[in-house]
Amino acid sequence: MTTGKGFADVVFIPFVPNLPAMIIELKRNGTAESALNQIKEKKYFDSLSAYTGDLLFVGINYDEYTKTHECRIEQFVK
């Protein structure tokens, strides 16, 4: 999905009321925190400005050397 200053990896917009939309950024050999920072810095949420529900930012990192995943979730406050 084209958003702000780039493309979000995954965006979920629910059809069911009272469920939050999610913007997901994926990283490899980085950090979940850097994925969240990219969502904020590039303003991936701008294209959802007309969306009236809550938003969740999800940063997921996969470390190919340790074979582990890291995930951080933040709620966006409008």
**What tens-digit pLDDT sequence spans the chain (78 residues)?**
555 567 888 999 998 888 999 999 999 999 999 999 999 999 988 888 888 889 999 999 999 999 999 999 999 976
The predicted structure's pLDDT at residue 3:
56
Question: 62: alpha, beta or left, given left = phi > 0 and alpha = psi -120 to 50?
Answer: beta
For the purposes of burial, counting CB atoms within 10 Å of the CB of 37, is it exposed (0-12), middle (13-18) or buried (19 or more)?
middle
* β-pairing verdict for 21-28 and 10-12: antiparallel
Do the beta carbons of residue 37 and residue 54 sit within 8 Å?
no
The predicted structure's pLDDT at residue 35:
97
Sign (positive or negative) of CA dihedral 77, 12, 35, 41:
negative
SS3 76: strand
